[in-house]
Amino acid sequence: MTKIDYEAKIVTLETELRKLRHALAGRDGHADDDDSPIQASFAEAAERIKEALGGVRDTSKKAAHTVETKIQDHPWISVLAATGVGLLLGSLLFRRRGD
């Protein structure tokens, strides 16, 4: 499973928003003002994204901890479940190749 770096994505998003703000400033000369509606919208959007990603991060950590606990409590059931899923996926993939 790949780990997604949400912090880096937020920094990238903020950078892109800054570039967009500067591009808009060249059009009407007002996008660099701190009081501009565009600046306020960008700041609000960035804040909402940070909050959403924070919630996703917390939820995913809780889910990962729950799964880890279940696997530690019942290792054989986890092995059997993984084997069953592997067999099911293998049979579905093999069936499609055979058609």
pLDDT (tens digit per residue) in 64-78: 899 899 989 999 998
Predicted TM-score (pTM) of this structure: 0.41
Question: Rounded to whole angstroms, how far apart are CA atoms 46 and 35?
Answer: 16
More confident site: 14 or 32: 14
Q: Name the band, by pLDDT with cuts 50, 70 and 90, for residue 31.
A: very low
pLDDT (tens digit per residue) in 40-65: 777 788 888 887 777 788 888 899 89
